[in-house]
Amino acid sequence: MASITVPISNTSSNEPILDNGQGVIDPDVYFQINEPPADLPEFESKLNAFVDYHKELGSKVVFITSGGTTVPLENQTVRFIDNFSNGTRGATSAEYFLEAGYAVVFMHRQNSIQPYNRHYTHSNMGFLDYLEPKEDGSVQVLTQYAAKMHKLLTKYNQAKDTNRILMLDFVTLPEYLFKLQSGSKVLARLETRAMYYLAAAVSDFFIPSQKMAEHKIQSRDGGLTLTLDQVPKFLKPLVSNWAAKGLIVSFKLETDNNLLVPKARQALTRYGHQVVIGNMLKTRKQTVTLITQHREKVLSLTPQQVENDIEIESEIIPELVRIHQNWIDSGKTE
Ligand code: 9Z3
């Protein structure tokens, strides 16, 4: 079977890519040689207004990233690589942060799970199954679901009415990277009162637009061989430049339990930020390991708690709120 290597055939230009000699380009170079998303100015103006408002109020603000990033295979994208993340962690966490009095910037993958709405959009029941049509032409929530919906709707409306949630979205990896950079720099104005909660599942590999096929890859040549570059290590500039004073919480996902803690600690040491939360693909909803410079804490739900629909975020968020308060008060996490 014939195969083609995408970056060589059908490229849009032959510009050289600057890298560090190991095939990973410097994040600053990445932003110089790639086009920012068209909606970046609108993204920035919404975020600036939100941050101004909450700076004035003295709020604590958390910048949550949520959901997976797509990696386009063509500049005029027909196909892309995606990952498993549906944004449950980010959306659930947003609710607990709001409960804890935070203002939330919810930067999520378009059409992924959203706070409060998640209870209906991603349940086993269809949305219409909660409703019944009335003879007078109105629609009513079935009695057995009304109390829960009333409670959630009240919280959701409160968050919106008090301007404590800002919904922003992304789809592709390049969009995510530009918005992460720009968003972190805007949030940096809140200094230590900003927390960065990086729960989005970000691809480690991508095809730079200069190396990408412009048009739809054709199947007439047989199979397809892809060569992907490593995504620049954006945590490095985020920690040292973009968000220097904020509390930065990154997530590390693994499937091999033996790698989880060593890899999470390695990230903490390498980038010098404050918290890494390690989680395993299969057990991520029941157990996580929270790693700070001097400590390692396993947070787990009991089978009984799982049975009662208790969510692991109800353990994660209070722990982070405490760490963040220490950070604000003393510049330390413990
Ligand atoms: C996580 O580990 C998140 O907890 C999950 C949540 C993606 C597992 P779901 O969306 O899943 O609820 O289905 N995020 C991974 C973060 C990540 O990709 N980290 C990168 C890294 O470790 C960049 S900070 O290099």
Element (H, E) at 252: strand 247-254
By CB atoms closer than 10 A (0-12, 13-18, 19+), residue 171 is buried
> In angstroms, rounded to a whole number, what is the distance separating the alpha carbons of residues 170 and 110?
6
My answer on whether 263 and 234 are in the same domain is no
Q: What's the half-sphere exposure (Cβ side, CA atoms, 13 Å) at 48?
A: 7
pLDDT band at 22 (very low <50, low <70, confident <90, very high): low
Residue 59 alpha carbon to ligand 1 centre in Å: 26
The C-alpha atoms of residue 140 and residue 143 are separated, in whole angstroms, by 8
Ligand 1, residue 84: give the atom nearest the CA: 13
Cα–Cα dist 74/216, whole Å? 6
* pLDDT tens by residue, 189-244: 999 999 999 999 999 999 998 899 999 999 887 899 999 999 999 999 999 999 98
| CB distance 104 to 97 below 8 Å | yes
pLDDT-derived band at 30 (thresholds 50, 70, 90) equals very high
Q: What single-letter DSSP state applies at residue 74?
A: B
Q: Residues 41, 160: one domain?
A: yes
Q: Give the length of the chain.
A: 334
Residue 11 CA to residue 191 CA, distance in Å, equals 43
DSSP 3-state of 1: coil
287-331 pLDDT, tens digit per residue, is: 999 999 999 999 999 999 999 999 999 999 999 999 999 999 999
Domain end marker among 243, 263, 278 = 243
**Is 182 in the same domain as 64?**
yes
**CATH for 257:** 3.40.50.10300
The pLDDT of residue 16 is above 60? no
Nearest-atom number in ligand 1 for the CA of 67 is 10
Pocket of ligand 1 (CB under 6 A): 85-89, 198-199, 201-202, 235, 250-253, 279, 284
- Atom number, ligand 1, closest to the C-alpha of residue 91: 12
Distance 206 CA to ligand 1 centre (A): 17
Q: Residues 7, 112: one domain?
A: yes
Question: Are residues 190 and 287 part of one domain?
Answer: no
Q: Which atom of ligand 1 is nearest to the CA of 284?
A: 8
Residue whose token pair is 């059409």: 111
Q: How many Å lie between the centroid of ligand 1 and the Cα of residue 252? A: 6
Whether 214 and 297 share a structural domain: no
pLDDT digits (tens, 9 = 90+) for 77-127: 999 999 999 999 999 999 999 999 999 999 999 999 999 999 999 888 999
CA of 150 to the centre of ligand 1 (A): 31
User: End of a domain among 243, 272, 298?
Assistant: 243
pTM of the model: 0.93
For residue 200, how far is its CA from the centre of ligand 1 (angstroms)? 5
Q: Which of 268, 274, 236 is nearest to 252 (CA)?
A: 268
The average confidence (pLDDT) of the chain is 92
Structurally, how many domains does the chain consist of? Answer: 2
Q: Are residue 259 and residue 213 in the same domain, yes or no? A: no
Whose C-alpha lies nearest to ligand 1, atom 17?
Answer: 201
Mutate to test the pocket of ligand 1, among 64, 69, 84, 89 (most ligand atoms within 8 A of CB): 89
235 is in which domain, residue-wise? Answer: 2-117+146-243
Tokens of 38: 């068209």
Say whether both 177 and 262 belong to one domain: no
Percent share of the chain, pLDDT over 90: 87
CA-closest candidate to residue 272, choices 293, 298, 246: 293
| Residue-wise pLDDT tens digits, 152-177 | 999 999 999 999 999 999 999 999 99
Quote the ligand 1 centre to 299 CA distance (angstroms).
17
> Are 292 and 235 contained in the same domain?
no
What token pair was written down for 67?
A: 């959901």
- Residue 90 falls inside a structural domain: yes
> What does the alpha-carbon distance between residue 17 and residue 30 come to, in Å, rounded to a whole number?
9
- CA-nearest residue, atom 4 of ligand 1: 199
Q: Which atom of ligand 1 is nearest to the CA of 279?
A: 2
pLDDT at 7 over 80: no
